[in-house]
Amino acid sequence: MTTLCRDCASLATAPAGGRCAACRSPRLMSHPEIETLSLAHIDCDAFYASVEKRDHPELLDRPVIVGGGTRGVVLACCYVARLSGVRSAMPMFKARHACPDAVVIAPDMTKYRTVGRQVHELMRQATPLVQPLSIDEAFLDLAGAAEGPPARTLALLARQIEREIGVTVSIGLSYNKFLAKIASDLDKPRGFAAIGRAEALDFLGPRSVSLIWGVGAALQRKLAQDGIGTIAELRAHPERALVARYGTIGRRLARFSRGEDDRAVEPDQPTKSISAETTFTHDIAPYEALAEELRPLCDSVAHRLQRANKAATGVTLKLKTSDFQVLSRSRKLADPTQRAEILYRAVLPLLRAEADGTAYRLIGIGADRLAEAVLADPPDLFARPTE
Ligand SMILES: [Mg+2]
């Protein structure tokens, strides 16, 4: 069975002594379907509280509650506070009683929205198919989004979110939205859980019908009156009977009980740009070496353009110097493109102008001003003599 290291993202078949052979990390993830599952739900851990801890490192080991204010309920609580029984949506007076030494912080929604947008933006670098569900969670469809198994892309994304934004996430990986969302909750915080096709029925069987999206308290009561408490009991009834008794939701009850959910991941906003970048182990100055680094990035961007059904009408080169100065240079393309080679040739003159001996620590390329794919690469482009 393939094992993924969640710290260094290396894949191995037989981990020695429960640790990663490459980096010795014990944070391994293995699953028989790890190579093929590609639908993910990512949820930030105790999001508001994590952002506050990030901004107030002295609170790292303290119980932190974000809440109070006019609503008087707990909006978020860290995992230390949860040990004392504090929960989201609990009235503040109860929370203070359960955890008298908690640090209570008034919510700063503007800040959380900004951080949430940053998290979503990193997700969109992994795949254009990101559907945010709220400020701190989203579905991602990673089928064909990158080289290698989606699980590996997800481990790298989780690490990037931790390093660059300073909050942790939990990942649920499966083959549809229903199960991915359940999975992200199985291993919190900083979790990574997968539910595969082979295990879905056994996994769901003993669980409560309330796990099914759309089953609220009223429907759950009605089902209980009919002797249906678990998903296995639901499965015993044919779809037609469930629709006849419970209305249109009967169809979903039947499908979800069998682990079937065909809802697609629907991005909430048009993709404005698709980019890829890489940070070097050692700073690089020569033009030729920098140009070589751009090649795989152009391949990745072209691949993602094709997958998103988009074409670039402009390219942007991004460089970061060894002292962290970021510069970006853009140009318009003659025709919209989805082709790596055209992106590469378009970005080289921009690089040529900046490769003046300066040492760079990062290089990136972005495909900008995206147009619909039907406009991409008009056929006469390749008949035209090279300019
Ligand atoms: Mg969350």
Q: Which domain holds residue 211?
A: 206-257
CATH number of the domain within which 213 lies: 1.10.150.20
- Is residue 137 annotated as a catalytic residue, yes or no? yes
Q: Do 145 and 226 share a domain, yes or no?
A: no
What separation in Å is there between the alpha carbon of 42 and the centre of ligand 1? 8
What separation in Å is there between the alpha carbon of 279 and the centre of ligand 1? 29
CATH number of the domain within which 333 lies: 3.30.1490.100
264 phi, psi to nearest 5 deg: -90, 160
Q: Could you give the count of Cα atoms lying within 13 Å of 88 in the half-sphere of its Cβ?
A: 9
What separation in Å is there between the alpha carbon of 384 and the centre of ligand 1? 53
Helix or strand (DSSP H, E) at 153: helix 150-165
C-alpha distance across the termini of the chain, in Å: 51
pLDDT of res. 371: 83
Closest CA to 27 of 170, 144, 147: 170
Flag whether 295 is in a domain: yes
- Could you tell me the two tokens for 33? 């379907």
For the chain, the domain total comes to: 3
What separation in Å is there between the alpha carbon of 278 and the centre of ligand 1? 28
Helix or strand (DSSP H, E) at 102: none
CA distance 222 to 228: 9
Cα–Cα–Cα angle for 382, 383, 385, rounded to 5 degrees: 95
Closest CA to 147 of 269, 267, 302, 293: 302
Q: Do 159 and 249 share a domain, yes or no?
A: no
Give the neighbor-by-neighbor strand order of the sheet with 3-5.
11-12, 3-5, 28-30
Among residues 33, 52, 137, 277, the one annotated as catalytic is 137
Q: pTM of this prediction?
A: 0.72
Pairing of strands 103-105, 130-134: unpaired
- CB–CB of 169/192 below 8 Å? no
pLDDT of res. 380: 56
Q: Do 39 and 186 share a domain, yes or no?
A: yes
SS3 202: helix
pLDDT of the chain, 387 residues: tens digit per residue = 889 999 999 888 876 678 998 899 999 999 999 999 999 999 999 999 999 999 999 999 999 999 976 558 999 999 999 999 999 989 999 999 999 999 999 999 999 999 999 999 999 888 888 999 999 999 999 987 767 899 999 999 999 999 999 999 999 999 999 999 999 999 999 999 999 999 999 999 999 999 998 898 999 999 999 999 999 999 999 999 999 999 999 999 999 999 999 888 988 766 678 999 998 989 999 999 999 999 999 999 999 898 888 899 899 999 999 888 888 888 888 888 999 999 999 999 999 999 999 999 999 999 988 888 877 787 654 544 444
